[in-house]
Structure 1
Amino acid sequence: MLHPDLKNARARRLPEHGLAEATSLAAALPGLEVVGGEVVRLPKLLPGTLFGTGKVAEIAARLKELDIGLVLIDGPVTPVQQRNLEKEWGVKLLDRTGLILEIFADRARTREGVLQVELAALSYQRTRLVRAWTHLERQRGGLGFVGGPGETQIESDRRAIDDQVVRIKRQLDKVAKTRELHRAARRKVPFPLVALVGYTNAGKSTLFNRITGAEVLVKDMLFATLDPTMRGMEMPDGRKVILSDTVGFISDLPTQLVAAFRATLEEVLEADLILHVRDISHPESAEQAADVADILTSLGVRSETPQFEVWNKLDLVDETARAALVGKAATSDRIFALSAITGQGLPDLLTAVSGAFELSRSDAELSLDFSMGRAHAWLHAEGVIEEETLTDTGWQLRVRWTERQEAAYRAL
Structure 2
Amino acid sequence: MEHDAQVTRAWVLHPDIAGADKRREVSFALEEAVALAVALPELDVIGSTAVRLPKAHAGMLFGKGKIEELGNLFKANDVELVLIDGPVSPVQQRNLEKAWKVKLLDRTGLILEIFSDRARTREGVLQVEMAALSYQRTRLVRAWTHLERQRGGLGFVGGPGETQIEADRRAIDDQLVRLRRQLSKVVKTRELHRKARAKVPFPIVALVGYTNAGKSTLFNRVTGADVMAKDMLFATLDPTMRAVQLPDGPEVILSDTVGFISDLPTELVASFRATLEEVLAADLVLHVRDVAHPETEHQSEDVHAILESLGLDEDTRQIEVWNKIDLLDGETQAALQAKAARQDDIFAVSAVTGEGLDEMFVAIARALDAEKTLEMLHLEFAQGKQRAWLFKEGVIEAEEQGEDGFDITVKWTARQARKYQTL
TM above 0.5, one fold? yes
Give the counterpart of 2:178 among 156, 167, 174. 167
Name 1:38's counterpart in structure 2: 49
Describe the superposition over 1:195-230 as per-residue Cα deviations: whole angstroms up to 9, x where unpaired: 110001101011111112211111011111011011
Match of residue 366, structure 1, among 377, 388, 400:
377
Structure 1 stretch 74-83 or stretch 118-127: which is displaced more? 118-127
Identify the match of residue 91 of structure 1 among 102, 108, 121: 102
| Match in the other structure for 1:317 | 328
TM-score (norm. length: structure 1): 0.92
Give the corresponding residue for 2:198. 187
Match of 1:130, SS?
coil
> Which sits farther off after the overlay, 16-25 or 184-193?
184-193
- Does the 8 Å CA contact 2:136/2:142 hold for their aligned counterparts? no
Q: Deviations over 1:333-369 (max 9, x none)?
A: 0111000111111011111111112222222222223
1:406 partnered with 2:409: no
Provide the rounded CA distance (Å) in 1 between the counterparts of 2:102 and 2:65.
Answer: 18
Q: Map Cα deviations across residues 275-320 of structure 1 (whole Å, 9 max, x no partner).
A: 1100111111111111111111111112221111110011111111
TM-superposed deviation, 1:391: 4.2
Q: Which amino acid aligns with 2:384?
A: G
Pairing partner for 1:342 from 353, 363, 368: 353
Q: Deviations over 1:45-100 (max 9, x none)?
A: 00000000000000111111111111111010000000000000000001111111
Q: Give the corresponding residue for 1:285.
A: 296
Q: Which residue of 1 aligns with 2:232?
A: 221
Residues 1:267 and 2:278 are matched in the alignment: yes
* Structure 1 residue 197 corresponds to structure 2 residue 212: no
Give how far 1:402 is off: 1.7
Three-state SS of the structure 2 residue aligned to 1:324 is helix
| 1:217-264 Cα deviation digits (max 9, x unpaired) | 110111110110111122223412211100001111111111111011
Matches within 5 A, 1:59-208: 59-130=70-141, 157-208=168-219
**Could you tell me which residue of structure 2 aligns to residue 354 of structure 1?**
365
CA contact under 8 A between 1:384 and 1:401: conserved in structure 2? yes
Mapped partners of 2:400, 2:143: distance in 1: 77
Partner of 2:151: none
Q: Is 2:244 aligned against 1:244?
A: no
- How far apart, CA to CA, are the structure 1 residues paired with 2:306 and 2:344? 24
Name the SS for the 1:36 alignment partner: strand
C-alpha distance in 2 between matches for 1:92 and 1:364: 64
Sequence identity percentage? 65
Amino acid at match of 1:368: L
- Tell me what 2:246 maps to: 235
Aligned partner letter, 1:110: T
Which residue of structure 1 lines up, in the alignment, with residue 397 of structure 2? 386
Preserved CA contact (<8 Å) 2:124 2:238: yes
The answer to whether the 8 A contact 2:380-2:404 is kept is: yes
Equivalent AA in structure 1 for residue 195 of structure 2: A
In terms of mean alpha carbon deviation, does 98-107 or 122-131 score higher? 122-131
8 A Cα contact 1:83 1:131, kept in partner: no
Larger radius of gyration: 1
Q: CA RMSD in A?
A: 1.7
Paired letter, 1:379? L
In structure 2, do the counterparts of structure 1 residues 319 and 58 end up closer, same or farther at CA, with 3 Å as the change threshold?
A: same
**What does the per-residue CA deviation read over 1:109-156, in whole Å, with 9 as the maximum and x for residues that have no partner?**
1100000001111111111133769xxxxxxxxxxxxxxxxxxxx995
Q: Secondary structure at the match of 2:42?
A: coil
Looking at structure 2, the residues matched to 106 and 314 of structure 1 have their Cα atoms a distance apart, in angstroms, of 30
Gap change, CA 1:320 and 1:18, over 3 Å in 2: same
Supply the distance in 1 between the matched residues of 2:231 and 2:337 (Cα, whole angstroms).
Answer: 24
CA contact (8 A) 2:136 2:143 kept: no
My pick for the range that moved more, 240-249 or 124-133, is 124-133
Q: Which has the higher helix share?
A: 1
Tell me the distance in 2 between the aligned counterparts of 1:10 and 1:19. 15
2:326 matches 1:326: no
Q: Which runs of 5+ in 1 are unaligned?
A: 134-153
Report how many residues are paired.
392
**CA offsets 1:362-398 (integer angstroms, 9 cap, x no match):** 2222222332222111111111111223445543322
307, 313, 325: which one aligns with 1:296? 307
Q: How far off is 1:163 after superposition?
A: 0.5
- Tell me by how many angstroms 1:182 deviates: 2.2
